[in-house]
Amino acid sequence: MENKTIRTLTEPSGLAIEISKHTELLRWWHQYQAQLLNQETDFVRNGLLQEIIAQRRRLEVACHTYPASQPCDCHTRLAEMQRLYELVEDFCDRLESPYQQDSLPLALQCLLQPWVRPLNLATHLAPTWGAEPIEQTRLLLLLTKTLLNTLNEIDRRPLKTLCTLVDNDGRKQFWVQAEYESPLALTFANPIEQALQPFLDTFRLLAQADCDQMFQTHQFSLKLSWRSPALAPS
């Protein structure tokens, strides 16, 4: 199966961009948004979810203490409580990965899980990872989610999709490859470019990253490459 290159988009290295006051303000804004979202998500996880757990335990004790008192109602209420817990937990995970602060590979693994079957997705993620600026991690996760959503909405199911995250002596690399059985139309690139460009421009600026997109007859690939700054201990 011949795989000719249709189009290649290579963004210039962020190292060529002058770091200005505007860039620092943009970085501050992303940090602020990420920290604010983290605080709100922690409030739900450590407040509302814990209260649901406590309510469920009290209900279980009551049902055990009075087993003959409307047992069916107890089972129904416990099931409803469990369903509420799962909905709130899923809401928190959708807002922010529980691993976002600690591990980019784990946060990606959590994010990618729902796409394993729809996109025939496989992963190759580094087992260990150094600390990343929170704004870069959050931006990379949002970029990845947007890309997977876009690939899923296109009326072409990939034969296979691979997401890879590696660290080569401090040079971080993340890429997504989607392979297709039949040739891709020239218009295939349009929704992907339109959806990703603002994320790529921002990530390139904040992470001083190289961003490459390649559209071939039977394959699409996106590759990001960057070096993370040394972070001061929190």
Looking at residue 195, its pLDDT comes to 92
Boundary of a domain, candidates 78, 95, 112: 95
Q: Are residues 138 and 207 in the same domain?
A: yes
| Distance, CA of 226 to CA of 14 (rounded, Å) | 9
Q: Are residues 109 and 217 in the same domain?
A: yes
Q: Are residues 76 and 118 in the same domain?
A: no
Residue written as token pair 């605080």:
39
> Does an H or E element contain 160, and which?
strand 160-168
User: How many structural domains compose the chain?
Assistant: 2
Residues 6+ apart with CB under 8 A from 137: 34, 100, 104, 107
Residue 26 lies in a domain: no
Q: Are residues 106 and 67 in the same domain?
A: no
Per-residue pLDDT of the chain (234 residues; tens, 9 = 90+): 666 665 556 554 444 445 566 677 677 677 767 776 777 777 777 777 888 888 788 777 777 776 655 555 777 777 777 888 777 777 777 677 777 777 899 999 989 998 999 999 999 999 989 888 888 898 999 899 999 999 999 988 899 999 999 999 889 999 999 999 999 988 899 999 999 998 998 899 888 899 999 999 999 999 999 997 755 444
Q: Are residues 122 and 202 in the same domain?
A: yes
Whole domain around residue 83: which residue ranges?
33-95
Looking at residue 106, its pLDDT comes to 92
Residue 64 lies in a domain: yes
Q: Are 6 and 216 in contact (CB under 8 A)?
A: yes
Q: Are 155 and 226 in contact (CB under 8 A)?
A: no
Boundary of a domain, candidates 95, 112, 131: 95
DSSP H helices in 44-70: 49-65
Residue written as token pair 């200005």:
20
Residues 6+ apart with CB under 8 A from 177: 161, 162, 164, 219, 220, 221
Percent composition of the chain: helix, strand, coil (DSSP 3-state, to 5) = 55, 20, 25
pTM of the model as a whole: 0.70
CB atoms within 10 A of CB 175: 17
Q: Are residues 142 and 196 in the same domain?
A: yes
- Amino acid 121 reads L
Residue 27 lies in a domain: no
**3 phi-psi bin (left φ>0, alpha ψ -120 to 50, beta other):** beta
Residue written as token pair 């990253």:
209
Residue 28 lies in a domain: no
Q: Are residues 89 and 137 in the same domain?
A: no
> Does an H or E element contain 29, and which?
helix 21-43
By three-state DSSP, how is residue 209 classified?
coil
Instruction: Specify the CATH number for the domain of residue 158.
Output: 3.30.565.10
Q: Are 182 and 155 in contact (CB under 8 A)?
A: no
